[in-house]
Structure formats: C-alpha cells, structure tokens
A and B are shown apart, each in its own frame.
Chain A
Amino acid sequence: MTVLQTIINGLFLGALYGLFGLGLAFAFGIMRIVNVAQGEFMVLATYIGLMLMPWLPVHPLVLIIPVALIAFGFGYAVQGSILNRVLDKDPMPSLLITFGISIVLRNLMVQVWSADFRSINIGKLKFMGFDVLGLRIGLLPLVIFGTVILLFVALYLLMTQTRFGRLIRATADDYETIQFFGVDYRRVYCVAMGISAALSAAAGMLIAMRSAFNPFSGVDRLLISFEVVIIGGLGSLWGMIVGGMVLGVAQLVSLQYDPNAGLMYAHIVFFLILMVMPSGISAWRRR
C-alpha cells in the first residue's frame, strides 16, 4: 500500500515537474531558444516571493500572482535587452548567453541570500490531508496539483482561443511573414519570454512549498525541466505532464529504497527512455 501511496505522490509531484518543462518548452517552441537560466529564474522568483512575504500578508498560494507578474517583467526585460540581440539561426550564442546569465544569477543569489537552505512556510496546510480507500492524501500536494492543472488549462486557452495566442503561434511558425501584418516579432518574443518566466516563477514557488531550496537548486530544476521536455515531446502540452509524472514517480519511488540518491534515478530513467524510444525524440529540428 505504501508503494501505491508513493506512486500517487509521485504523480502529484510529476505534474509540477510538467510545469517546469512547460516554461522551457514554451520559450523554445516560439523563439528556438533553450533558456539554460530557467532554473535560476525559478529560484530567483522564489527568493522574491520570500522577500514580498512580510509586505503582503496573504497566503503564499496567492503570493504566486504578484511574483509571477514580477517574473513576467524580468523575462520581458531579459529578452528585450539581451536575447533579442542574438536571434540568428546559430543556436550557439543564445545557449552560451543564457548559460552565462545562469552563472551570474546563481552566484549573485549566493552573495545576497547566502547558500543556506530556505523554504516557503505555508502554515497548517503542510500537515493537512485526508484518507481515501486507506491511502493518505496530503492536501498540499493536491492543491499544488490543482494549481498546475489550472495553469496548463489557462495557457491552453490563451494559445488556442484568443487573438493574442494566435499571434504568438503565427510568430512561432514564421516570424518573417508575420512582419507583413505589422507585427513586431521582437515584442512578441519579449512577451513570450515573460510568459515563460511567469510559468517558471509559479513552478518555483510551488516546489519551494514542498521542499527546501538554495541558490544552487537551479541546476536540478533546469535538468528536470529539460528531461520533461525530452520525454514529453515538444508541442504537446499534455506530454509535459506525462513526462513530468514519469520523473516524479521515478524520484519518489527510488527515494524509498535509496534515501540519499536525490535525482540520480530520475536522471537514469530519463536515459533509459532516451535509449528505448529515440523516434519520439529524434524529431527535433533546427529552425
């Protein structure tokens, strides 16, 4: 029964990992930029959330909204001031630049907030839960799961149902043609990176409610996001959740047997999947 319970917890955690991947895949799908600093975006947003806490006496779950807005502005600024300068067909400059940004952010965060582990205190919610069919379901993982699904649905509706979503998709398809219609694709890119950063910020806040973090946690977060994208497949919103769930279950089940393994088994599972289903993965194309 404990195994079943671990699997259910893994599925909840995995959906959150799906949100990790969504931020990365969204930026890649539109701008063909793999944002290596995504993990640091997530951690930075969490520190900003911690700083806002004394000023905004609301529940941490509500705090996600202002934090996501700040992250949106941050993503918009990074794209506009730095990444829009390297929009050529060569993927190397944007990769190296985002890697450089990640180094700067990580070490600045160490300088400002030290390497101590912190977490977001969510009060009583952490200990609440209920029993279903003899299984103990924590309320917090369930709430996080619900928030993740809400964000996925919101993004899906934004992309498919609104004029703005059409604009983004058209820019992703052909940024040259879209200019004939009077669209500044660079501004669309800024907004897209803003959305990606806001999604990452929400994911960062949610994971910090579950477990402690420090400035070096960004690396783990990036690697998870990347694995989710590869397993789930690009262009498939729901593939992200499936990819995340595979990793979430792998991580929590392996921790039962080998408590100090961290993400090692999740990484290994990723490679096994890469080995057995290369066809789902080899479809990556250059722009």
Chain B
Amino acid sequence: MAAEMMSSRRFFYVKPRSMLIVLLLLTAILAAAPSWLSAGTLRQISEFLFVFAMAESWNLLAGFVGLISLGHQGFVGIGAYSLFMIANASGISPHFAMLFALVISALAAAAIAPFLFRLRDAYFSIAIWVVAEIARTATAKSHWLGSSIGVVLEATRHMDRTWLAIGIYWWAVGIGIGSIALLFLLVRSRLGLALMAVRDNDLTAASVGIDVGRARFIAFVLSGALCGIAGAGYSMLSYHIDPNGAYDGNWVVVMLFITIIGGIGTIEGPIIGTAIYFGLREEMGDIGNWYLILMGSVAVIAMIAMRRGIWGTLTRKFAFELFSVRRLPPL
C-alpha cells in the first residue's frame, strides 16, 4: 500500500492515508515486541523513542513555526517533576500520572507564552532559556521538591519491575509514534498551513487573515506538552530525578542536534538524527564531553554547508517524500 504513489510533476510522495496505516502497523509491531525482545533492548528502544519525541517537539517549533527554543529543557524538567511528585503524593500508578505530566507541561507552556511572545526571534529563544533557569534554581531551592538532591519515584517500590518497564516501553511507543502522527496531522491541517505561513512571513500571514498569535500559541502549547510527557517518560526509566539532570541545558543541545542533522522542518529527519545521536553516544560516551563538542561542531557545519539536513537533502535529490506536507492542486 505504501508503494501507491502519486506524482505532481517531478515530486513523488506517498499518499497521506497510506502513511497513517503504516504508522498503525508499526505501532502494532512495536507494541507486540516485548514478547520477543529482551529487557535491555526494550529499554534502549524506550530511550530512543522518548528522545526522538523531544526532538520532534523542538522541530515542531523550529521547523514549522520558526520559533527557536533554547529553553526546552524546562519542559523536560517540568514533565519529569510533575510525574514524580504526583505519583509519590497520590500513590496512583506512575503510568497513569504520565497524563498529569502532559497536562501540567501544557499549562506551563500556556502560562509563559504571553510573556515570551513579546520578544522576537533570538530574544524569544533566550527568554525561554531564562524561564528554564528560573525553574531549575527554584526546584533546587525547594525542600518540597527534594532540593538539589532530587526525588525518587517511590510509587514504583512495590511494583513488578518487569511490568513497569514494559509499561514505560508502551508509553514510549505511544509517545514516539504519536509525535510523528501529531506533527503529520497538524502540519497537514488548516492550522498547519497557517503555522508555515507565519514561519515564512508573519506580516504577510497576518495580512491574509491568519491570527498569528493564536497559531503560535497553539503550536507552543502542543510542543511543550509533547516535550513534557516525553521528558516524564525518560525520567521514569531511572526512577530518580534531580534538578541539574532534569533541567540540563544539554537537552536542548541534543534536540537541536538531532533536528538539524536530520533535517529541520521535516518529519522524518529527526528519526535519522536520533539514530545518529545514539550511535555517537555509543561510540564516544565514555570519553567525557567530546561528543558534545562534536555535536556542536556538526551543528555549526550543517547550518553552513547542509542547511536542509540529511533527510532534506535526500528528498531534494531524489524527489521523494514519505510524510509529505505538500498538497496537490485539484486536477
């Protein structure tokens, strides 16, 4: 079914409905995977999918709305802390508390958006970094939030570790695949068209009747919520969080690297980017921060020499798209 192509002059792309069916099949296969994969492999896949979803949340803003966030680690931290605090305080299953992480991150995004949107371009980017710093320092100072030592996920103490890991894995599959579906559906929707118009030229977009502020707001809240729940899921993998880890500025470095190297503004790009990131980390993980230095250099070089990233360059060269965001004119 995926092979069913449509052509618009030179460009080939797969029918959107076919891609959604592919996604459903992929979800079904991944969801059944615990019956034959080892616990270690499941954990690696979970990690991969959570980081991938964070990168997609960053890509949603940078690639489709034109907002560069240098403070997305704030959402990772807020998502993680919401999950841990709510699960510990109420005794509900952490798997259920994931939903609260989603809601609280969305609310946090909605609360700070009005301030941040007063600033443009790079000033927006740094202002959200300031917010993340405030959140980190405030968390580290709060006794209730475990100060700088952090919090342990106590709710998992009496749970079966095997089933807990499988539950986290299922969340990872849902969030990872869900992030692709979210971006795909969003970008192809009416709102998605509005977002890309805002990204390309906000004044022109406003002049054709697009509510620029509303479009940006919705995208920002969606991005924050996705990043928050992915961060919560990632933190559940280790049952412990602390402010410097959860609000680590290197989260943004990872998201940015994955998106830029894969292809900013493409849905498929971050899949490649995440694979490269984990490959690099595997290879260079034990030699300190050299992989950060390498990631920074690669991002700089890519922005100069290959701005479309790997996937963007490939689609140009071979005129082929999987999750196409273009629309065909009626014949």
Contact = CB atoms under 8 A, between A and B. Distances in A.
Interface of A: 34, 36, 82, 85-86, 91-93, 95-97, 99-104, 107-108, 110-111, 219, 222-223, 226-227, 230, 258, 260-264, 267-268, 270-271, 274-275, 278, 281-282, 284, 286
A104 B256 contact: no
Given A107-B292, A267-B133, A91 B122 contact: yes
A95 B129 CA distance: 14
B78 interface: no
A230 B115 CA distance: 13
Nearest to A219: B249
B256 A96 contact: yes
B304 A86 contact: yes
Contacts of B133: 219, 223, 263-264, 267
B312 to A, nearest CB: 14
Contact of B130 (A97, A107, A223, A261): A223
Contacts of A219: 133, 249
Residue among B137, B249, B297 having the largest count of chain A Cβ atoms under 10 Å: B137
Residue among A99, A227, A263 having the largest count of chain B Cβ atoms under 10 Å: A99
Interface residues on B, range: 35 or more
A95 B125 contact: yes
30 contacts: A36-B126, A85-B304, A93-B304, A95-B121, A95-B122, A96-B68, A96-B299, A97-B299, A97-B303, A100-B296, A100-B300, A101-B296, A103-B299, A104-B296, A104-B300, A107-B292, A107-B296, A111-B289, A223-B126, A223-B129, A230-B119, A230-B123, A260-B141, A261-B141, A263-B137, A267-B134, A267-B137, A274-B127, A281-B119, A282-B118
Contacts of A36: 70, 122, 125-126
B290 interface: yes
Contacts of A263: 133, 137
Given A99-B256, A103-B292, A226 B303 contact: no
Contacts of B129: 223
B137 A262 contact: yes
A278 to B, nearest CB: 5
A274 B115 contact: yes
Contacts of A226: 123, 126-127, 130
Contacts, number: 120
Interface string B124-144: 011101110110011001000
Nearest to A262: B137
Interface string B299-317: 1100110010000000000
Given A91-B122, A274-B118, A284-B123, A264 B303 contact: no
A98 to B, nearest CB: 9
List the 8 shortest-distance A-B pairs measured between CB atoms, nearest first. Answer: A103-B296, A34-B122, A100-B300, A104-B296, A100-B299, A264-B137, A107-B289, A91-B121
Contacts of B307: 93
Nearest to B301: A100
A108 B70 CA distance: 20
B256 to A, nearest CB: 7
Contact of B253 (A91, A93, A103): A103
Given A36-B70, A274-B127, A284-B120, 4 more contacts: A34-B123, A101-B300, A261-B137, A275-B115
Given A97-B304, A281-B118, A92 B62 contact: yes
A209 B256 CA distance: 35
A282 B121 CA distance: 12
A264 B293 contact: no
B130 A96 contact: no
A284 B119 contact: yes
Contacts of B297: 100, 104
Contact of B295 (A34, A103, A286): A103
Nearest to A92: B68
Nearest to B138: A264
Contact of B300 (A82, A230, A258, A275): A82
Interface string B253-293: 10010001000000000000000000000000000111011
A270 B118 CA distance: 13
B134 A268 contact: yes
Nearest to B147: A260
A136 B236 CA distance: 52
